[in-house]
Amino acid sequence: MFKKNFVILILFGTCLLLVGCNPSKDEVVQNLIPEKEWEYALHVFYYHEDVRKLGDELNRFQNSSPNLQKGFQVQLWDHDQERNKKWAHALGIKKFPTYLILNKDGIVLQTQDMEMAKKYLTEH
């Protein structure tokens, strides 16, 4: 009886560890919501992407208008980092780069098209 309970306890503990290592979509979204001073957050999950080119283009876009400078924050997430892989998986991201726009309520746009992300941010 003791062996059986011990094995069940070990299996239960292992399951908890495995579940704890993979965040839920809601947990990830809570980490990505914009800080209070920002209306939107743009998060870019990229994989084997030229981060400098991507960053430069987003920087030029954000600096193209005073409204855009005040309206959103930008964060780039390299898929080569383990935590970012888990976050991308939790969010259902399978293609890179993926652009996520969030407001205080959560995800408002998820796309692989940078122009669509720019259009959303310009219009809102």
119 within a domain of the structure (yes/no)? yes
Phi then psi for 41, rounded to 5 degrees? -125, 135
12 within a domain of the structure (yes/no)? no
How far apart (Å, rounded) are the C-alpha atoms in residues 33 and 43? 10
Q: How large is the average pLDDT for residues 26-50? A: 89
Neighbours of 44 (CB within 10 A): 21
CATH number of the domain where residue 86 is located: 3.40.30.10
Closest CA to 96 of 108, 80, 107: 80
Closest CA to 103 of 36, 43, 34: 34
Number of structural domains the chain divides into: 1
Q: What is the pLDDT of residue 33?
A: 95
Question: Would you say the pTM of this structure is higher than 0.75?
Answer: yes
90 within a domain of the structure (yes/no)? yes
pLDDT digits (tens, 9 = 90+) for 50-106: 788 888 999 999 999 888 888 889 999 999 899 999 999 999 999 999 999 999 999
Tell me which residue range forms the domain holding 44.
Answer: 23-123
1 within a domain of the structure (yes/no)? no
